[in-house]
Structure 1
Amino acid sequence: MATQSPASSSPKKVIVMTGGNIGIGFECAKLILTSLSNVHLVLGCRDPQRATQGVKNLEPFVTEGNKVEYRPLDLASFASVRRFAQDIETSFPQGIHTLILNAGLMVFSRQLTEDGYETNMQVNHLSHLLLSQLLLSSLRTGHKTSPEEPSCIVFVSSSLHKPGVGRGKGPELTLENVDGSIEFDGMLMYRNSKLCQAMCMHVLAASLVNDEAITAYAVCPGFIPTTDLKRDSGLATRIMMDNILSRISAASTVQEGGSRVFKAMTDNRTKNGIYFSKDGVDESSEESRDPEKQKYWWNWTCKAVGLENLSQ
């Protein structure tokens, strides 16, 4: 009778990633499946066809003892986020090891979600923050299952939350225009969503400062013009980013971006509340580190997603 290897007899480390069927997340997923052992990677994806194809494309990179699958998740719906979180908790009673909040978009026309929030803000920030709160218990259980290192929450950030970076306006995050009803600009809304994300990452990390079970931090994978983030932009913008901006010295490839997210997840699990850029440890914007603004937008987020106090 064949004996089981230590990896096969112990519970798999469950890694949950939003998106991951394409782009930066896909490149990170490849590294997870080829470089780590005894992991179960779950991708949360909106489009079943694209998700199925993404998993199929990842299968050649699955090393022995690892597994990859997708579960339905629409970040434009709080109800979908709650169903996804419940599915993860039910499916993995041993808990999860890592939560990578990777999926994102940049919408250039004003659209409100079924929950009544501007789409950039809900997909890039609100739903991810909600998911992190719903899975805190599962992350703590995951640490008990694998106590040799903390479970972690990785926010995939963007340097566009900083003023003066890139083209276009912003960030200009105000309650009056948080839904784009006074002035709508796709880049502005994207920047605002990433600024709000950075603020709330800091608040979440502060709440975990004495918690040995979980850490939370953010990583900017770099300026990557060829990412699928621009899928909802106009043809001229897509051509410019693919054929012109992708060739400038400041640009990174999708592969480099995925590698930076993977490195943040594997090498920096104990560094709670840190912001990483392509050059290593960095600082998020001065505005994102303002305690009063952090408190204000954290409380606004709590109310928006329908949870009181969240991790506090």
Structure 2
Amino acid sequence: MSKWTRDDMPAQRGKVVVVTGANSGLGYEATKTFAEKGATVVLACRSVEKGERAVREIQQSVPDADLDVRECDLASLESVRVFTEAFQEDYDELHVLCNNAGVMAIPRQETRDGFEMQFGVNHLGHFALTGHLLDALHQTEGETRVVTQSSGLHERGRIDFDDLHGEDDYDEWDAYAQSKLANVLFAYEFDRLLDEADIENVLSVACHPGYAATNLQRRGPEQSGSTLRLWMMKVANAVMAQSAAQGALPMLYAATAYDVAGGEYVGPGGFMDMRGSPEKQRSSDRSYDVATAERLWDVSEDLTGVEYDFGVRATLDRDRDR
């Protein structure tokens, strides 16, 4: 098992990084580490107030941190579009996009665009964000990366194309698992399409944090009003979970390690893949289903209205195969 740590992370001075959900948990820890390594980090947050609070906290230990908080609500396609347009007006480069933000096992809700919240935020919001930023990634000199945060629970997931938004039958954990499987399917299909289009400088990588103690686990029990579930989550976090700082390592490894290639999957290599140092792993068999990935991609374009501009070759190849 590798022993990769933050000390092994290459210097990031001169790099521009976007991290979604950067104000807390894994996103906060990743942002702090990118800043320590010299990167300019754009914190894409639903709450600017919480993002600014995170900046103040980071600057206490990294006084020269170059941090820029911007509103980006992944539950709103309009918010995603506005964020990306403003970003591209102010920045000429984008070296790393960390699709990190997410919601987990919450009672059924809908985004502003009518999508089931977990599928809408965890997958469709990031799908739209990445599509809007593809040109910025491609036009940046040198290698750039898109890192999409999944979960070990993606192994439970199935893509229910007949009821993607849980309108007929909703289970909060099944919906979460579906969204996390969608993350991996997206990362792999994105890598394939980049390869078909001969876009060699952009890498698409998937990762998962194992079991890390963050606020993510609390939101479902809090929103459902389940005191028992909230207590059980707190106990499990205290006994079993690794820290958020440790849980952020797979994302940081996927974003910066020299030996990472497109289409790979990174997670902690310790006990049951729930903790430990990051390593390359194999995701679930369903995550490698190309037909499902292609169908999900097409559905995602239709739902978001965001079509990726890969150039002529990828478009022709995709149309020919249909």
Name the TM-score, length of structure 1 as normaliser.
0.86
Q: Which amino acid aligns with 1:285?
A: S
Q: Per the alignment, do residues 269 and 41 of structure 1 end up closer, same or farther by CA in structure 2, a change over 3 Å counting? A: farther
Task: Out of 183-192 and 269-278, give the one that drifted further.
Answer: 269-278
1:236 and 2:228 equivalent?
yes
User: In 1, are the aligned partners of 2:26 and 2:214 still within 8 Å (CA)?
Assistant: yes
Q: Per the alignment, do residues 252 and 81 of structure 1 end up closer, same or farther by CA in structure 2, a change over 3 Å counting? A: same
**Which among 184, 194, 208 is matched to residue 220 of structure 1?**
208
**Which among 252, 256, 278 is matched to residue 262 of structure 1?**
252
What is the SS of the residue equivalent to 1:292? Answer: helix
1:177 and 2:167 equivalent?
no
What is the SS of the residue equivalent to 1:30? Answer: helix
The CA distance in 2 between the partners of 1:269 and 1:197, in whole Å, is: 22
The CA distance in 1 between the partners of 2:47 and 2:286, in whole Å, is: 35
Q: How does 1:1-312 map to 2 (within 5 A)?
A: 12-34=14-36, 36-37=37-38, 39-62=39-62, 64=64, 66-92=65-91, 94-142=92-140, 144=141, 147=142, 150-163=143-156, 171-209=157-195, 210-224=198-212, 226-234=213-221, 235-248=227-240, 251-268=241-258, 270-279=260-269, 280-308=279-307, 311=310, 312=314
Q: Which runs of 5+ in 2 are unaligned?
A: 1-12, 222-226, 270-278, 315-322
The CA distance in 1 between the partners of 2:239 and 2:174, in whole Å, is: 24
What is the SS of the residue equivalent to 2:56? Answer: helix
The CA distance in 1 between the partners of 2:211 and 2:236, in whole Å, is: 13
Cα drift, residue 269 of structure 1: 6.9
Q: Per the alignment, do residues 118 and 269 of structure 1 end up closer, same or farther by CA in structure 2, a change over 3 Å counting? A: farther
The CA distance in 2 between the partners of 1:118 and 1:268, in whole Å, is: 37
The CA distance in 2 between the partners of 1:137 and 1:156, in whole Å, is: 21
User: In 2, are the aligned partners of 1:151 and 1:269 still within 8 Å (CA)?
Assistant: no
User: In 1, are the aligned partners of 2:149 and 2:208 still within 8 Å (CA)?
Assistant: yes
What is the SS of the residue equivalent to 1:211? Answer: coil
Q: Which runs of 5+ in 1 are unaligned?
A: 1-10, 164-170
Q: Per the alignment, do residues 310 and 181 of structure 1 end up closer, same or farther by CA in structure 2, a change over 3 Å counting? A: farther
Cα drift, residue 232 of structure 1: 2.3
Name the TM-score, length of structure 2 as normaliser.
0.83
The CA distance in 1 between the partners of 2:118 and 2:294, in whole Å, is: 21
Cα drift, residue 107 of structure 1: 4.5
User: In 2, are the aligned partners of 1:40 and 1:68 still within 8 Å (CA)?
Assistant: yes
Q: Which amino acid aligns with 1:27?
A: E
User: In 2, are the aligned partners of 1:176 and 1:182 still within 8 Å (CA)?
Assistant: no
What is the SS of the residue equivalent to 1:105? Answer: coil
What is the SS of the residue equivalent to 1:193? Answer: helix
Q: Per the alignment, do residues 270 and 227 of structure 1 end up closer, same or farther by CA in structure 2, a change over 3 Å counting? A: same
Cα drift, residue 268 of structure 1: 4.6
What is the SS of the residue equivalent to 1:212? Answer: coil
Q: Which amino acid aligns with 2:228?
A: A
